[in-house]
Amino acid sequence: MPMLRGFLVLVLFFILGESVRLLLALPVSGGVLGMVVITFTLMVKGSVSNDLAQASQGLISVLVLLIMPGVVGVFFTADQFSGQWLAVAAALLLGTFLSVLTTLLLMRAVTTRGVGDGE
């Protein structure tokens, strides 16, 4: 039951993000807006509930399946990018580098704060 409550929270934030996207006609995914809102909510709250953590862990274990539709979509539209291979390669490399760098800096900040707090 805790995992179900966690999924409910995630779905509610997704719906909130979709609502904001539709109301403001933003060119951003409702899922991304929902993630931004839940991130700020958790930052203000200062902690993550066990229900939400359990549901999130369940999603992380199948993350590859969540990414797969986008990969398949790119595979079927690859011919549209044939003349733009340099820009696509640069975007992939830069995006990957920035993602890894952001993760490194975030983990360093979290682990440094955790050590100083006596956890």
Q: What is the pLDDT of residue 115?
A: 58
pLDDT along the chain (119 residues), means of 10: 86 94 90 90 88 86 76 77 84 91 90 62
Is 54 in the same domain as 92?
A: no
Q: What is the pLDDT of residue 116?
A: 53
Is 26 in the same domain as 56?
A: yes
Is 86 in the same domain as 46?
A: no
Number of domains in the chain: 2
Is 7 in the same domain as 57?
A: yes
Q: Which of 30, 61, 92 is the last residue of a domain?
A: 61
Is 51 in the same domain as 90?
A: no
Is 38 in the same domain as 85?
A: no
Map the chain to HEC letters: CHHHHHHHHHHHHHHHHHHHHHHHCCCCCHHHHHHHHHHHHHHHHCCCCHHHHHHHHHHHCCHHHHHHHHHHHHHHCHHHHHHHHHHHHHHHHHHHHHHHHHHHHHHHHHHHHHHHCCC
Q: 91 in a domain, yes or no?
A: yes
Q: 70 in a domain, yes or no?
A: no
Q: 48 in a domain, yes or no?
A: yes
Q: What is the pLDDT of residue 88?
A: 82
Q: How many other C-beta atoms can be found within 10 angstroms of the C-beta atom of residue 6?
A: 22
Q: What is the pLDDT of residue 85?
A: 82
Q: For residues 38 and 17, give the distance between their C-alpha atoms in angstroms, rounded to a whole number.
A: 9
Q: What is the pLDDT of residue 15?
A: 95
Q: What is the pLDDT of residue 58?
A: 81
Q: What is the pLDDT of residue 19?
A: 95
Is 5 in the same domain as 48?
A: yes
Q: For residues 17 and 36, give the distance between their C-alpha atoms in angstroms, rounded to a whole number.
A: 8
Q: 71 in a domain, yes or no?
A: no
Q: For residues 44 and 37, give the distance between their C-alpha atoms in angstroms, rounded to a whole number.
A: 11
Is 3 in the same domain as 42?
A: yes
By residue range, what is the domain housing residue 23?
A: 1-61
